[in-house]
Structures are given as C-alpha cells and as structure tokens.
Amino acid sequence: MLFRPSLADGLPDAVADEVIARIRRALLEAGTAVVGRAAMPTGAGGTDQLWLKLTLLHPYATVEDYRSLLDLIVATKSEASPNHQTEESPVAS
C-alpha cells in the first residue's frame, strides 16, 4: 500500500520527498516501525515523488490491525515538517 501524508501536499517535490524521508527515519530511529518507500511518477509532468510503502502480508489483517501504525505516522509528521531542522539530509534514507 502506497500513501503520502497530506503534509506533503502543496510542497515542492524535493521538500515533500524530504518530509517523507524524515517520517521514515524518525520511525526507524525510534524503533517503532520500519516503513518502506517507493518512487512513483506522480509529480508534475510525471516526475518521481516519494511515497511511504506498507507491505501487508497477513490475509486476515484488517484496517484496525494497522490503525495504530497509521496513527503513529500521523503523529510523526510534526517532527518531519519542513521547518524541522536536522544535521544531515534524510533524503538518502
């Protein structure tokens, strides 16, 4: 499942990609979740944009089983806002 937090909407692609990378890195560094990423040609003129990616394998899993993870991603987005400073670029994450 691919998704982009609404925080990325309306930002320049490079900034939105950095937000996506910061969310992933914050979750990983906190030890709370390992979320994938995918580049899809969904930007202006078909340019690639980063998307968060969940690989859902359990055949009986429901939305409720993943709600806490999605809530955690929403809570993490404030740390990933464009105004939040980090020492290194998280785009490589």
Tell me: the pLDDT tens digits for 19-75? 999 999 999 999 988 999 999 999 889 999 999 999 888 899 888 888 988 888 888
Q: Please state the domain count of the chain.
A: 1
Q: Which domain holds residue 37?
A: 2-79
Which H/E stretch holds residue 24? helix 13-30
Which CATH number characterizes residue 14's domain? 3.90.1150.10
Assess if residue 87 is contained within a domain. Answer: no
Assess if residue 40 is contained within a domain. Answer: yes
Taking the complete model, does pTM exceed 0.85, yes or no? no
CA distance 69 to 33: 8
Nearest to 69 by CA among 6, 38, 24, 7: 24
Assess if residue 85 is contained within a domain. Answer: no
Q: pLDDT tens for residues 77-89?
A: 766 666 654 444 3
Q: pLDDT tens for residues 36-52?
A: 999 999 988 999 999 99
